[in-house]
Homo-oligomer: A and B are copies of this chain.
Amino acid sequence: MPDPATTPEPPYYAVIFTSVRTPADPAGYEAMAERMVELARQQPGFLGVESARGADGRGITVSYWESESSIRQWREHAEHLVAQQRGRSEWYAKFELRIARVERAYGLGS
């Protein structure tokens, strides 16, 4: 996954998903995480995604979207709903999800 993501001029939306993994089912988790990125890329309004997880099990994934309605549609996607359910019951000890409107952006080397 290219990182940082290439995104258009603001405004657009970011979903900031911060999580702490349980020790459960690393292979199943990894497969589902890859599948969700693949599926997200196919959704209308998807702009990009960035992800990092440290050795301590703490991770941050930020996905970028054209609009709040594209985020809502993705949240309600049938296969994504199944993944969300397994995330809550098995894979995540904690998470926090924040929806934010990107107002300004600048970078180096991209």
- Say whether chain A's binding surface is mostly helix, strand, loop, or mixed: strand
- How many interface residues does A have (CB within 8 Å)? 41
Q: Is A28 an interface residue when CB atoms closer than 8 A count as contact?
A: no
Complex interface: chain B residues within 8 A of A88 (CB): 108
Q: Is A110 an interface residue when CB atoms closer than 8 A count as contact?
A: yes
Q: Is A86 an interface residue when CB atoms closer than 8 A count as contact?
A: no
A102 touches B105 (CB 8 A): no
Complex interface: chain B residues within 8 A of A99 (CB): 102-105
Q: Report the Cα distance A103→B11, complex, angstroms.
A: 14
CB contact list, A62-110 vs B, under 8 A: 62, 68, 88, 92-110
Q: A50-B60, A60-B62, A62-B60 are in contact. Are A98 and B92 (CB under 8 A)?
A: no
One of B54, B95, B107 near A95 (C-beta < 8 A) = B107
Which 3 A-B residue pairings sit nearest by Cβ, starting from the closest? A4-B96, A100-B100, A94-B109
